[in-house]
Chains A and B, each alone.
Chain A
Amino acid sequence: MVNTLRDNISSLRRLSYTAVLLSVIAIIVSGATVLESMHKLQQVNILPNKATNSTNSSSQHFGTRLTNINKELNSTELSVINNASMSYFETAGEMYLNGSIVNLVQAATKNVTPFVVGGKPSVIYLGSITCVFCGENRWAMALALSRFGRFSHLYKGYSAIQDSDVPTLYWSKASYNRSTVELGASYNSSYISFIVIEDTAPISGGFSLQPLNVIQAEVNRTGNASYSGAMALILKLGNFQGTPYTIWGRSQVGGADAVDFGNSMPTNSTLQLTYMTHDEVLNQLSKPNDQFAWTEYAAADLYISMTCGSINNTAPVCTLPAILTIEKNNGY
């Protein structure tokens, strides 16, 4: 009787130790994640619903900022993209070919049948405003696309605050405070069609991507056959492995074609680009003199070569020796 009672007490004591230990662990782990989620929610709630054109940069430090988000590039800024000197593309291409670009520039491509819209092969982009690689990649994309047409509008934006908060370009004004899908860009070209499918989510959080069926439903709801067809093509190819996902004529690229977050390859999550402003990036692109800028041009050169290969080299940029060499070397 006494032994049984002792055993029971011992079991109870053991159970209580176990319960206390597990509770402490559960509280620590879940508490941290819940606090983090609450923090995210608070950040989402304080975001304005309309575009912020204010310049309260003093209260928005790099890495946690929304300064000038959705603000349209003025004519001088837009000119940096639209009127970049051909010599920059040639120089960057030569640097890429002779191995003097220190950042990674490469693209794993797959040959596809060009998606033709309005008699022109398409450049298809599927990305997310929250994605850091999309954010970085849009600079190179914009430079490349400017060789085949002109942007009439581009907007300042950022990747998600918790996905490195890098300054970037938005193709159109972005719904940075809610999850939706935005289509299109103010771009005109006689060589190519540019199809933009951009997933959005509150950029005060981290990287986020809506499920494909949601994105597809949003695209189909517009009734635009070109966008629905582009989405169907992405599905048919069946090789989506993240964003950005692009198709340049007959070359499909999985991911960004460069890792360009500063003048050297980053070794941790602290990126030089996070601490740059749009003005600084545009200044660098207008007069490239460092690895960051040359890498953007070299990344653009890869996209240009792919596109040239799909339009029989009919655009003026396709005659640049570096572009022709890249096109030949990479089999675009």
Chain B
Amino acid sequence: MRRPQSGPGRLENLSKMLRSRFFIAVLVISAVSYYALFYYLVLGNEHVFIINTPMYLVYALAVSSAAVLAASLYTARLIKALAKTAASGGTFSVISATTGGIIIGCGCSMPILGSILYAFGMNSISVWGAIAFVNSYQAYLLGIIILINAMLFYYYSGKGAAACRTR
């Protein structure tokens, strides 16, 4: 049975990952793409970029989602057998960024979220309730997504560390 990786192994892998051109390229490209996605989702509301959430949370979400994607791809590159696991990380990264973008874009008007909820068969009361909820807890919801992203990033850095040791 393979021994689980220890802290120093993870740190070593993190250090390698952060120095990897592949990781940095994916991180930068996806972070910019996610920010562009947020911009598009917010503009979709009223054609103007007005948000209620602090900008640092927006940046943190873009970077954390991008980091998960980059780490999962980096891991998949190291261990082909983990491609499926890495793919799930990539998928989550996209989902978290999109969900975060919809939450960021939730303001006075929110046709994107409204349209989605109506498509699920919700009525006005439910949609309104959802809008009120998202508006009240916008920062907290983003914080949760960022936290999950951070945990996933930590998980993938451990996977990569295992690959480093077995090589």
Q: Give the interface of A toward B (CB within 8 A).
A: 7, 10-11, 13-14, 16-18, 21-22, 25-26, 29-30, 32-33, 36-37, 104, 128, 131-134, 162-164, 206-213, 234-235, 237-244, 254-256, 259, 261, 265-269, 271
Contacts and interface: CB of A to CB of B under 8 A. Distances in A.
Contacts of B5: 14
B113 to A, nearest CB: 8
Given A13-B6, A240-B124, A25 B150 contact: yes
Given A14-B7, A239-B124, A255-B109, 15 more contacts: A10-B6, A13-B6, A14-B6, A22-B150, A29-B60, A132-B107, A133-B109, A206-B138, A211-B125, A234-B124, A238-B123, A242-B107, A254-B109, A259-B47, A259-B48
Contacts of A131: 107-108
Contacts of B147: 25-26, 29
Interface in B60-93: 60
Contact of B52 (A133, A207, A210, A242): A207
Lowest 8 CB-CB distances: which A-B pairs, in order?
Answer: A242-B109, A241-B114, A17-B7, A131-B108, A212-B128, A206-B52, A29-B143, A133-B108
Contact of A36 (B54, B114, B131): B54
Given A33-B140, A241-B109, A213 B125 contact: yes
B57 interface: yes
A316 B116 CA distance: 42
A212 B124 contact: yes
Contacts of A211: 125, 128-129, 132
B91 to A, nearest CB: 22
A240 B114 contact: yes
Given A33-B140, A269-B51, A254 B125 contact: no
Nearest to B111: A241
A120 to B, nearest CB: 26
Nearest to A11: B4
